[in-house]
Amino acid sequence: MAGMPKSYDFCYDPPAVAGNKGGSGCNSSSPCAAGEGDCDNDSDCDAGLECFLRIGTEWVPGVGSISGMPSGYGVCYAVPPCEQHTGITGPEYPGLKLPDGTDASPTWYVPYQEHELRADLRARDCNPASCDNPSACGIPVCRGINGAGGDADMRAYWTGIFRSSCKGAGCDIEKYAQVVASTFPDDRNVQGVIDSTVDHSGQSSPMTATDAFPKLFLPGIRFGVYTAPEYSPGFVLTTPYSTDYRAGEDADGSWLRPDRRFCNPLGWLSSSKMAIAHSGVVNDKKSGVIITKLAICLKANCAADDAACAPTKCYVSKKGKCVTFDEDVFHNYAEKHAREHSIKAYELFKSGEYKLGCNKAAEDSSRSAVAAN
């Protein structure tokens, strides 16, 4: 690809038909060519190829057809060159702001790659997985578009989430972002938009404190979507997605929902959990616990001879609060909790039909639920 600019797309001829060589047809002694399977490891493929471990009948990049290939069979393929992404690839992220309104360093993340965090950053409890850091931490503010509103509120979201309308170069939806000061519902989150010169009418309405549950899709630029915690505690959303090139899935590989086709030399990984769960007290149908958890990982800056340095540095922020709803929401037993209970609880929460705090038994039990998640 010499002379081809990094951001350019290019044409290529995929193999016509995937070749099914059987469950043990590809191995290190007899490696397979592109479009052949079943493989289990990269060593089962010819030099320069990798084994694409399919989920079900998943399409394989660069393979024109997988007709006749059994579900779940791995297929050897040539990995296409990665694409650039303004929110992930880096190494610089210009234009970001600190909480006090001053400019953040384009390489703000560098101190947080160190094997041992600097003493002054530890003393301030600086945490890239949190949205309420003081400016002295050097961590840019969290920003996001409102994904919990009506159709008009979500236009920016629907633009950014589809690859056909918004690829790695972005699509100008950052101007509709709002600052969120906490990863948990908080009146501080009800702030004005970042760019006051933009007309937000019909585009992205101001969020309320109950909207501010962050999904930081793009940790490098601290950007994501703030949406409803309509999930049970077992659901975790991780980006960039580990899958890619799913046929017909236009929402994969977009600016707001990146996957592994984008260049990610810093190893960014973001995992978000937004849940309303059963308090754990048997027959208590009104007490629940709101849990928000955010984990951010990136490559560590390790010396070549430092065997004690873990190759990945991760940060976690977690908060929880027991609430009592005005009407029955949950099943008698925590093990029967389902998403439908979380959805109903959130509707009551958003409409103000609850009070903060619970009875002693629910408070004690909810602390265990938060700790376990």
Residues 121 and 267 grouped into a single domain: yes
Among 339, 356, 169, which residue's Cα sits nearest to residue 255? 169
30 falls within a domain? yes
Please give the tally of structural domains in the chain: 2
357 lies in a domain?
A: no
Q: Per-residue pLDDT tens, the chain, 373 aa: give them.
A: 556 666 666 665 555 456 888 888 899 999 999 989 899 999 999 999 999 888 888 878 777 777 778 888 999 998 888 899 999 999 999 999 999 999 999 999 999 999 899 999 999 999 999 888 999 999 999 888 776 555 545 677 888 888 888 999 988 888 777 777 666 655 444 444 333 444 434 433 444 444 445 577 799 999 988 777 778 888 888 888 866 544 446 667 889 888 888 999 999 999 888 888 999 999 999 999 988 888 999 999 988 888 888 899 999 988 888 989 999 999 999 999 999 999 999 888 878 888 888 999 999 999 988 888 8
Q: Does residue 193 lie within any of the structural domains?
A: yes
Q: Does residue 285 lie in a domain region?
A: no
Q: Please indicate, yes or no, whether residues 48 and 156 belong to a single structural domain of this protein.
A: no
- Distinct helix (H) and strand (E) counts, the chain: 4, 13
Q: What is the pLDDT of residues 195-231, one digit of tens each?
A: 344 443 443 344 444 444 557 779 999 998 877 777 8
Entry pTM: 0.76
Cβ atoms 60, 76 nearer than 8 A: no
Kindly state whether residues 57 and 117 are assigned to the same domain.
Answer: no
Amino acid at 261: R
Residues 223 and 119 in one domain: yes
Q: Are residues 72 and 133 in the same domain?
A: no
* Domain assignment of residue 128, yes or no: yes
State the pLDDT at residue 17: 54
Q: Are residues 259 and 121 in the same domain?
A: yes
The pLDDT assigned to 140 comes to 94
Q: Which of 177, 195, 176, 171 is nearest to 85 (CA)?
A: 171
Of 112, 111, 115, 110, which is closest to residue 90 (Cα–Cα)?
A: 110
Task: Please report the pLDDT score of residue 33 as a whole number.
Answer: 92
Residue 218 included in any domain: yes
Q: Which domain holds residue 19?
A: 12-80
pLDDT in tens, 295-335: 999 999 988 888 888 899 999 988 888 989 999 999 999 99
Torsion of CA 109, 113, 117, 123, to 10 degrees: 20
Longest dimension (CA), the chain: 68
